[in-house]
A and B are shown apart, each in its own frame.
Chain A
Amino acid sequence: MGDLMLAEGGTFVPPGAKDFFLPPIFGGVTKPMVLVVLSVVIIAVFFLLATRSFKLVPSRFQFIAESIYDIGRNTIAREQIGGKDFKPFVPMIVTLFTFVLVNNLFGIIPIVQFPTMSHIGFPLALSLFVVYPVYHYVGFKRHGFTGYLKNQLFPPGAPKAVYLLLTPIEFFSKFVMNPITLAIRVFAAMFAGHLILLVFTLAGEFLLLEAGPLLKPVSLLSFAFAIAMTFLEALVQVIQAYIFALLSASYIGMALASDH
């Protein structure tokens, strides 16, 4: 971001997509790579520490870990997949939830300040290589090849002529759009959120340091908005993590569901 600030004549250069390409730290290792590995380490250490001495009446630390696990298991997995066959998927759902959550929260933590999901590759990898194979594989395994396709592409209970329109839409939605929108949802939310924070913070810095003296008080307004948007961003990040896990569980549930 160094080349942003002092353009010729001191005009403000608004942040854009180029601000998301960070220089490598050493070798080919860039900041998002380090953050992803760091998030895994943080989650693993957190859960290992919290469950080191299991008590029946949990300590506060254990209670937090149990609450996170409970959200993934009951609120997300059991509700979306159904009480009968949700248990094998609980680890994956809890992992997706905590992984996306920690990586999103990196966007507002002071030193780090970069949501790794704002690079399209990370949510795309999660969506295309984890969620997409799992829910189709589970569907094929339960219903068989033709059974699964018939179940998904020809949902029962519609008049015959509607299938001409319904089947291509269902196919396009379930096999093409679902993984793409699952990735784009969290990517665009993190991208837009980080961009908003950049705009207010950089504008505040510019107004404070380089604008004329009459404009300097306006920088206070800009910084105040940056703080407000940070809180909003925190809410959006938690919601996006929750929704990512929720929709993954929902796709698995829909693949497993027999004819209603």
Chain B
Amino acid sequence: MVLAQAAVDINPGLALIGYGLGAIGPGIGVGLIWAAVINGTARQPEARGPLMGIAWTTFVLVEVLALIGLVLYFLASAPAA
């Protein structure tokens, strides 16, 4: 027997799951970048300066994907029309 119920809005929940899945890639990417910095500094401590410079430059490129995901979460979590 189906009772009439108020419609549950699942858009924000789905949007959040989508963002969570989408943050996996950038998370791995950022980890790889800083792992490379740590490895490179361990092998050659004098290279720390240039490596950190490269690290920050590439970090922002990867981070923007996670940030785009966050923005899209707010766009996608609008209540179902």
Chain A residues in the interface with B (C-beta under 8 A): 16-17, 181, 184-185, 187-189, 191-192, 239-240, 242-243, 246-247
Contact = CB atoms under 8 A, between A and B. Distances in A.
Contacts of B64: 181, 184-185, 188
B74 A17 contact: yes
A39 to B, nearest CB: 22
Nearest to A236: B63
Contacts of A17: 74
Interface residues of B, number: 10
Interface string B7-31: 0000000000000000000000000
Interface of B: 56-57, 60, 63-64, 67-68, 70-71, 74
B60 A184 contact: no
A192 to B, nearest CB: 5
Contacts of B68: 181, 184, 188
Contacts of A184: 64, 67-68, 71
B56 A243 contact: yes
20 contacts: A17-B74, A184-B64, A185-B60, A185-B63, A185-B64, A185-B67, A187-B71, A188-B64, A188-B68, A188-B70, A188-B71, A189-B67, A191-B70, A191-B71, A192-B67, A239-B56, A239-B60, A240-B60, A243-B56, A243-B57
Nearest to A250: B57
Most chain A C-beta atoms within 10 Å of own C-beta, residue among B56, B64, B70: B64
Given A181-B64, A192-B70, 14 more contacts: A17-B74, A181-B68, A184-B64, A184-B67, A184-B68, A184-B71, A185-B60, A185-B64, A188-B64, A240-B60, A243-B56, A243-B57, A246-B57, A247-B60
A240 B64 CA distance: 11
Nearest to B78: A17
A192 B70 CA distance: 8
A187 B67 CA distance: 9
Nearest to B67: A188
Contacts of A189: 63, 67
Contacts of B74: 16-17
Closest CB pairs A-B (n = 9): A188-B67, A243-B60, A185-B64, A188-B71, A17-B74, A181-B64, A192-B70, A188-B70, A184-B68
Contacts of B71: 184, 187-188, 191
Nearest to A247: B60
A150 to B, nearest CB: 26
A189 B59 CA distance: 13
Contacts of B60: 185, 239-240, 243, 247
A240 B70 CA distance: 16
A243 B63 CA distance: 12
Contacts of B67: 184-185, 188-189, 192
A189 B71 CA distance: 10
A16 B12 CA distance: 12
